Amino acid sequence: MDFEGKRVLITGGSRGIGKACAQAFAARGAKVAINFVRNAEAAQKSLNSLTGEGHALVQADVSKSELIEGLIADTVKALGGLDIVVNNAGISQYHPINEVSYADWQMSWDKIINLNLRAPANVIYWATQYFLKKGGGRIVNVSSRGAFRGEPEMPAYGASKAGLNAMTQSLAQKLAPDNIYLGVVAPGFVETEMVTHVLESEKGDAIRNQSPLGRVAQPEEVAYAVTFLAAEESKFSTGTIIDVNGASYLRG
Distance, CA of 205 to CA of 168 (rounded, Å)? 34
**Whole-model pTM?**
0.96
State the total domains in the chain.
1
The answer to whether residue 2 is domain-embedded is: no
State how far the alpha carbon of 109 is from the alpha carbons of 97, 103, 154, 221, in Å: 11, 10, 9, 29
The answer to whether residue 60 is domain-embedded is: yes
The answer to whether residue 163 is domain-embedded is: yes
- Domain extent for 51: 7-244
Model confidence over 46-88: pLDDT tens digits?
999 999 999 999 999 999 999 999 999 999 999 999 999 999 9
Contact residues for 156 (Cβ-Cβ < 8 A; gap 6+): 93, 95, 108, 109, 112, 113
Contact residues for 223 (Cβ-Cβ < 8 A; gap 6+): 17, 20, 21, 23, 24
Model confidence over 178-226: pLDDT tens digits?
999 999 999 999 999 878 888 999 999 999 999 999 999 999 999 999 9
For residue 1, pLDDT beyond 90: no
Total Cβ atoms within 10 A of residue 111 = 15
Domain CATH for 91: 3.40.50.720
The answer to whether residue 140 is domain-embedded is: yes
Residues 88, 12 contacting (CB under 8 angstroms): yes
Residues 63, 99 contacting (CB under 8 angstroms): no
φ, ψ (nearest 5 deg) of residue 123:
-60, -45
The answer to whether residue 1 is domain-embedded is: no
Q: What is the mean pLDDT of the chain?
A: 97
The answer to whether residue 252 is domain-embedded is: no
The answer to whether residue 19 is domain-embedded is: yes
Catalytic residue among 125, 157, 224, 249: 157
Q: Can you say whether the dihedral through the CA atoms of 229, 38, 119, 111 is positive or negative?
A: positive
Model confidence over 139-154: pLDDT tens digits?
999 999 999 999 999 9
Which pLDDT belongs to residue 193? 84
Residue 198 vs residue 163, higher pLDDT? 163
Which pLDDT belongs to residue 215? 97
Q: Is 157 a catalytic residue?
A: yes
Q: Strand, helix or coil at 70?
A: helix
Let me know the angle formed at the C-alpha of 53 by 2 and 137, rounded to the nearest 5 degrees: 45
Model confidence over 95-144: pLDDT tens digits?
999 999 999 999 999 999 999 999 999 999 999 999 999 999 999 999 99
The answer to whether residue 249 is domain-embedded is: no
CA 163 vs. chain centroid, Å, equals: 14
